[in-house]
Structure 1
Amino acid sequence: MSSADSPSPTALARQLLAILSRDGGRLKRIDDYLHGKHDDPYMPPQADDEYRLLAGRSVSNWLPLLVDAPAQALYVDGFRPGGADGGLPATESATAEWSHWQRSRLDARQAAVYRGALSYGHSFTVTEKSRTGHVRTKGLSALRTSALFEDAANDDTPHAALSVTTWPSADSAGRARLWDARAEYTVRFLSLDDPKSVVVSDARRHGASACPVTRFAASVDLEGRTLGVVEPMIRLQDRINQTVFDLLLAQSYGSTKVRTVSGMGPPIQRDPETGEPVLDELGNPVPLRINHNNRRFLFAEDPDVRFGSLDETPLQGFIESVEMSTRQLAAVSQTPPHFMLGQIANLSAEALLAAETALNRKILEFRTSFGESWERVFRLAAELSGHASSADDHQGEVIWRDMESRSLAQSADALGKLRTQLDIPARGLWARVPGVTQTELEDWEQKAEEDDSIGQLATALQRATPEPASPSTAVAA
């Protein structure tokens, strides 16, 4: 799209605010369910306060677990740039780019980006240069941010993006930040649905050659639609809540035996002076209240009186229904059942690994998608930092932390076999040590170079030894 055909910043702001208005209801529903604000289970219209109290207690919010399970296995530990001339890594550039990561405190803040993308389908980051000249990246919420793509299914670079910083109120207009391929703007608006109130001002260059906003999408189809892990599970969550509500009703009203008696009239109140029955307004005898509990017995003098009991309502069927719905939720969401049901007794390591296979495949899919987004962030950071070669590095890749449950001894044994049996260089295996960070790898590299006394001596001797004269030079002499 040429600059002449590009919409004006005001037109872009109106489009992006309209996207927020269009998707706001759906994202708000996802946010409510994620934080336990679910629809009430079905109850009769004449339900009393006790019913509504039980309905509130029936909410069993499984949805945060569906987000936490993959999010806790997503952790970037380092960045490996692509090959420079001769295929050697650009170490100096990689150090500068990783410094941008550390300065942005993304070791801790990256989790919020993943959780936002997994919850709502997408989240965003913006990479920009601060007033002090340092490049930083921070996350943007999907509830406040929208982006325009020429091809939303395939493009990783937005045409423009907008993020609301202040929502409008009765006293003041809302404010937002707008980015396009060249500049950043300040947007003021009175309502998401009022395009005439949109005012764009304060244009300034952001320094990048493209929009500095990057989308992190959990799943994107060929129509460009994003989908998280919460929205498809809302109906199953409602089913679990309904079953738990029915269980609470049965537990509250029918889980105890009911004692019955037939053929016996209750004792009545009598006047202490005359002994005559006390009558109510309708002329009926007033019965005495019977204080009956587990420590008291009922007895009758009349042989025709019959005592009995009504059995309690069995709760096992409700419990099995809850477990069945929970297992279905685990299967559809690719979450290991023992994560949700806590049934891990007598399970071998192989059985646990098999149970987590589906989740691990899901995590690998997320790592592939999010890894591409982080690589774009590193290219933006390199460009804003002045590293032109790294800004066009499409071979770089992020290094994800190995989160599999293995002991250090097992990992060391496996890495040792790779070194001896496959003759893989030892330094090439350092990054596969569980829990190692980018800073530790750089420290190991520095210490290895300092400890390589033989290599340093060979280099010094090679420099000190004069080169032999060539044959042509000797003949000429």
Structure 2
Amino acid sequence: MPTPTDTAVELLARLSDETERLDRIDKYLRGEHDGPYTPRKASREYKILAQRSVTNLLPLVVNGLAQSLYVDGYRSGDTDEPASAWRHWQHNGLDARQSAIHRAALSYGRAYVVVVPGKDAEGAEAVPTVRGYSPRRMIAAYADDDDEWPEYAVRWASATVEGKSGRRVWFYDDETVHVFTSTSADGGDLAPEDSYEHGAGVTPVVEFRHLPDLEGRALGEVEPLIALQDRANQSTFDLLVAQTFSSFKIRTVSGMAPKFDDDGNPVPLPVDAARLLMATDPDTKFSQLDETDLRPLLDSIDAAVRHMAVVSQTPPSDLLGQLVNLSAEAITAARDGANRRRAETQAVFGECWEKVLRLCELVLGGDADTSAQVSWRDMEGRSLAQIADALGKLAQTLEVPVEALWPRIPGVTQTDIEAWQRMRATDRAADPLSKLADHVNQTAGGDGGLDNVINAADVAASAATGAASG
């Protein structure tokens, strides 16, 4: 049976095989693109234009989707109350950390979240520690592609080992976290450093997959768009070359032998007071070459960007900035593809976050609430007046409980809702009529039957009359 060390070395080798592909994605995200085609003996001016031709659109594609993904609540499906595991979210600062995890999964196709035992700031209460990691530093292995939890996982980080640049490696299985050190860049000489049990009963790693399929593959947003990004860069380079060397009229002369000075340099043509070229040779002819029309090159760039918007289902306004003077219906139609793409991503990532919060409970030795669900913040660009009007009609016309509509208010978090619920409970406790209503409800359910209900109603009416006259 393979030891943890053997399995960790094997997984590190598999991660190394993915390094070239993931590093290329990372470079394109940071604007380090493959250069456009240039002549074999390109001059310094050409090389400068090639550097300036890079217009990095890929971060816009990733950010457009990532900025619409914000988890802001976690509620139990049985009671519709905030689930207790939400405290782990707040303790680990996942309001801020979730964006980096989403961006990594969107960019590379995968990202990882690890849940291990930890302690709070005072060190008194054991609480789980939740951290996200890039697929460039972590990999998970499954016994079957359809398994919910990985069989093993390994991650690494740069560290100084024995005074040398090395690695620290963490290996996870369903019982233990093993920590190794290595003095080599590939982690081939792992030496045990520490180990501890995590108590989750499963490998405490959740893999965030973007656009997963049934064969275990996950495709990020960046890799399919690299060819389109190169096309846009090439078109931009061609535009800059034309703009630099042929965007102005060129005057030509023929039938005149050039003259040189004593140093062998050509002598400029004489120009008279009217700024006309002069030549003494009667066979000399002057003419003019028109400038290059830049509009086809500009259209070529726009076409490449539009193709990128179509392939990635990104709204044209995010890439082209040309969505103006359109009706609300036209804007909604233009964003329909992006909305469907966001809904699919929320469904996949939402399940991943639910697994993360269930892991938090398992690490503490509790029972995981499989009915609880995360809620996503509404990022649609609607006015607050429209939303308030719609929610008010739902409450009045359809008699939907007001508390059930609070989560649908844009920008309202679960923490806000919990605060409102406490305020309402405090106000209700201080209101004598609310106390009386509670008494009526309790009496109606007692052994007195209908007589008790009628008596309680009479008492309530008398109290209301007295309160009004007072």
Q: 2:278 aligns with which of 294, 299, 313?
A: 299
C-alpha displacement of 1:231: 0.3
Q: 1:219 aligns with which of 197, 211, 215?
A: 211
Question: What count of residue pairs does the alignment treat as equivalent?
Answer: 440
C-alpha displacement of 1:44: 2.3
Q: 1:74 aligns with which of 40, 47, 69?
A: 69
Work out the CA distance in 2 between the residues paired with 1:355 and 1:294: 59
Q: How does 1:258-297 map to 2 (within 5 A)?
A: 258-269=250-261, 278=262, 287-290=266-269, 296-297=275-276
Work out the CA distance in 2 between the residues paired with 1:302 and 1:315: 37
The alpha-carbon distance between structure 1 residues 209 and 45, as it changes in their structure 2 partners (threshold 3 A), is: same
In the other structure, the counterpart of 1:369 is 348
Work out the CA distance in 2 between the residues paired with 1:177 and 1:206: 13
Is the contact made by 1:187 and 1:201 (CA closer than 8 Å) also made in structure 2? yes
**C-alpha offsets along residues 370-418 of structure 1, whole Å, 9 cap, x if unaligned?**
10010011111122344x24x1x21111010001111111001111222
In the other structure, the counterpart of 2:26 is 31
Q: 2:371 aligns with which of 371, 392, 395?
A: 395
In the other structure, the counterpart of 1:97 is 85
Q: 2:237 aligns with which of 229, 245, 248?
A: 245
User: What residue identity is the alignment partner of 2:349?
Assistant: F
The alpha-carbon distance between structure 1 residues 467 and 333, as it changes in their structure 2 partners (threshold 3 A), is: closer
C-alpha displacement of 1:190: 4.4
The alpha-carbon distance between structure 1 residues 287 and 403, as it changes in their structure 2 partners (threshold 3 A), is: closer
C-alpha displacement of 1:125: 1.1
The alpha-carbon distance between structure 1 residues 346 and 382, as it changes in their structure 2 partners (threshold 3 A), is: same
Q: 1:354 aligns with which of 333, 338, 347?
A: 333
For the aligned residues, what is the CA RMSD?
2.6
Q: How does 1:105-184 map to 2 (within 5 A)?
A: 105-131=93-119, 132=123, 133-152=126-145, 154-166=146-158, 171-184=164-177
In the other structure, the counterpart of 1:13 is 8
C-alpha displacement of 1:63: 0.4
Is the contact made by 1:160 and 1:179 (CA closer than 8 Å) also made in structure 2? yes
Is the contact made by 2:200 and 2:362 (CA closer than 8 Å) also made in structure 1? yes
TM-score (norm. length: structure 2) = 0.87
The alpha-carbon distance between structure 1 residues 314 and 375, as it changes in their structure 2 partners (threshold 3 A), is: same
The alpha-carbon distance between structure 1 residues 165 and 267, as it changes in their structure 2 partners (threshold 3 A), is: closer
Is the contact made by 2:72 and 2:414 (CA closer than 8 Å) also made in structure 1? yes
Q: Greater CA deviation, 292-301 or 112-121? A: 292-301
Work out the CA distance in 1 between the residues paired with 2:96 and 2:409: 21
Q: Greater CA deviation, 447-456 or 243-252? A: 447-456
The alpha-carbon distance between structure 1 residues 234 and 292, as it changes in their structure 2 partners (threshold 3 A), is: farther
In the other structure, the counterpart of 1:232 is 224
SS in 2 for 1:134: strand
Any stretches of 5+ residues in structure 1 without a counterpart? 270-277, 471-477
SS in 1 for 2:406: helix
| 2:445 aligned with 1:457 | no
| 2:51 aligned with 1:56 | yes
Work out the CA distance in 2 between the residues paired with 1:175 and 1:349: 54
The alpha-carbon distance between structure 1 residues 292 and 190, as it changes in their structure 2 partners (threshold 3 A), is: farther
C-alpha displacement of 1:147: 0.6
TM-score (norm. length: structure 1) = 0.86
In the other structure, the counterpart of 1:275 is none
The alpha-carbon distance between structure 1 residues 430 and 297, as it changes in their structure 2 partners (threshold 3 A), is: same
C-alpha displacement of 1:222: 1.3
The alpha-carbon distance between structure 1 residues 213 and 44, as it changes in their structure 2 partners (threshold 3 A), is: same
Is the contact made by 1:20 and 1:192 (CA closer than 8 Å) also made in structure 2? no
C-alpha displacement of 1:120: 0.4
Any stretches of 5+ residues in structure 2 without a counterpart? 450-470
Work out the CA distance in 2 between the residues paired with 1:32 and 1:219: 22
User: What residue identity is the alignment partner of 1:397?
Assistant: Q
Work out the CA distance in 1 between the residues paired with 2:379 and 2:143: 37
In the other structure, the counterpart of 2:467 is none
Q: How does 1:324-335 map to 2 (within 5 A)?
A: 324-335=303-314
Is the contact made by 1:243 and 1:322 (CA closer than 8 Å) also made in structure 2? yes
Percent identity (aligned): 45
C-alpha displacement of 1:156: 2.9
Is the contact made by 1:156 and 1:215 (CA closer than 8 Å) also made in structure 2? no
Work out the CA distance in 2 between the residues paired with 1:165 and 1:268: 67
**C-alpha offsets along residues 37-86 of structure 1, whole Å, 9 cap, x if unaligned?**
11111122211222111111111111001100110000011111231xxx
The alpha-carbon distance between structure 1 residues 181 and 267, as it changes in their structure 2 partners (threshold 3 A), is: same
Is the contact made by 1:267 and 1:287 (CA closer than 8 Å) also made in structure 2? yes
Work out the CA distance in 2 between the residues paired with 1:67 and 1:382: 32
The alpha-carbon distance between structure 1 residues 433 and 291, as it changes in their structure 2 partners (threshold 3 A), is: farther
User: What residue identity is the alignment partner of 1:211?
Assistant: T
Work out the CA distance in 2 between the residues paired with 1:204 and 1:420: 56
Work out the CA distance in 2 between the residues paired with 1:181 and 1:50: 59
**C-alpha offsets along residues 329-370 of structure 1, whole Å, 9 cap, x if unaligned?**
100110111211111221111111110100010001110111
C-alpha displacement of 1:245: 1.1
Q: Greater CA deviation, 306-315 or 399-408? A: 306-315
Work out the CA distance in 2 between the residues paired with 1:379 and 1:293: 87
**C-alpha offsets along residues 118-150 of structure 1, whole Å, 9 cap, x if unaligned?**
000011111222243232311111110111112
Work out the CA distance in 2 between the residues paired with 1:403 and 1:51: 44
Work out the CA distance in 2 between the residues paired with 1:109 and 1:293: 71
Work out the CA distance in 2 between the residues paired with 1:399 and 1:294: 78
User: What residue identity is the alignment partner of 2:309?
Assistant: A
Work out the CA distance in 2 between the residues paired with 1:258 and 1:293: 19
Is the contact made by 2:221 and 2:312 (CA closer than 8 Å) also made in structure 1? yes
In the other structure, the counterpart of 1:316 is 295
The alpha-carbon distance between structure 1 residues 267 and 334, as it changes in their structure 2 partners (threshold 3 A), is: same
Is the contact made by 2:164 and 2:183 (CA closer than 8 Å) also made in structure 1? no
Q: 1:438 aligns with which of 396, 400, 414?
A: 414
C-alpha displacement of 1:265: 3.5
